[in-house]
Amino acid sequence: MPNTGTLTRADIAERLNQEIGLSKAESAALLDQVLDNVTDALVRGENVKLSGFGSFLLRDKKERIGRNPKTGVEVPITPRRVLTFRASQMARETIIKGN
């Protein structure tokens, strides 16, 4: 895999192909199914926890007043739902150690 600084879907599917022995089509289909399940759960308003990796959490933010940094004009920021990711302790330790 070329090191482009970004891990892509194709890269993950290729690793599944190499490490598990699935065909390239099966690897891509498996990855798509996993990502579709994660996305569907988030759309339904569910948080997603992947043990040993981290959690995707939905947060509802209330309306608030913001300020344009250039002009200083106050503007209302509409309420919205945001998606956040929190890495598990195990993932953080692995990343910091560089393993």
Question: What tens digit of pLDDT does each residue of 6-63 get?
Answer: 999 999 999 999 999 999 999 999 999 999 999 999 999 999 999 999 999 999 999 9
Domain boundaries, the chain: 1-44
Q: What integer pLDDT is reported at residue 10 of this predicted model?
A: 93
Phi-psi region of 33 (alpha: psi -120 to 50; beta: other; left: phi over 0): alpha
Tokens of 3: 């090191």
